[in-house]
Amino acid sequence: MSKRTPARLDFEVDKLTNSIENILTGEIFETEIVRLKTVDISSLNRSKWQFNWRMELKSAEREVYALVTKENPSILHGIMSIEDMGDHFFLHLIESASFNKGHTKLYAGVAPNLVAFVCKKSFEKGYGGHLAFIAKSALIEHYEKTLGAKPLYGNRMFLDTEAAYPLVRSYFKDFDNARL
């Protein structure tokens, strides 16, 4: 498969929660992150998503995950595409569902929940929670403040152990820190 130009990500870290939170009621919903497979392609309506998730699912190097609630696992609240780089994970794409974007969004905490999951995978693989991604220029400061991300070069940013650990613990209370 030919190499694609990495996307500059523009996800919003609206609120660090311990799950996802209904904006109107404040109700918290327990979440799960599930790996999507090529058989799930038919459930991804292109008109509802900004990115071409079908192409991501077809990539042999990438893993695609979706955030769902335990209460209703058929509704995808967000999707991301990651790649194991051997010493860290690279976040290629991340997107909240259309109903979780903008000033009319229904749930807060979707994007940081997904980012925390990747950092957790990074710890589990022995990579110290390290995660890299390319940010849109206008959001570099936002990711520094909300996630503790650090600039690497250009628009490339990363989360190190110091930034990743509290994020993972926020979403995964039972995370075993003995692996650090």
Task: Please check whether residue 4 lies inside any domain of the structure.
Answer: no
Per-residue confidence (pLDDT) for residue 123, from 0 to 100: 96
Task: Please check whether residue 8 lies inside any domain of the structure.
Answer: no
Per-residue confidence (pLDDT) for residue 1, from 0 to 100: 44
Task: Please check whether residue 10 lies inside any domain of the structure.
Answer: no
Domain of 132?
A: 20-171
Task: Please check whether residue 15 lies inside any domain of the structure.
Answer: no
Q: Report the number of distinct structural domains present in the chain.
A: 1
Per-residue confidence (pLDDT) for residue 18, from 0 to 100: 66
Task: Please check whether residue 140 lies inside any domain of the structure.
Answer: yes
Among residues 149, 154, 139, the alpha carbon closest in space to that of 10 is found at: 139
CATH code for the domain in which residue 142 is found: 3.40.630.30
Task: Please check whether residue 96 lies inside any domain of the structure.
Answer: yes
Q: Is the CB of residue 34 less than 8 Å from the CB of residue 74?
A: no
What is the pTM for the complete model shown? 0.86
Concatenating the DSSP letter of every residue in 48-86 gives G-SS-HHHHHH-SSEEEEEEEESS-TTS--EEEEEEE-S
As averages over each run of 10 residues, the pLDDT of the chain (180 residues) reads 56 62 90 83 71 87 94 91 97 91 89 94 96 90 91 93 93 71
Task: Please check whether residue 125 lies inside any domain of the structure.
Answer: yes
Task: Please check whether residue 64 lies inside any domain of the structure.
Answer: yes
Token pair of 9, please? 């990500």
Per-residue confidence (pLDDT) for residue 49, from 0 to 100: 82
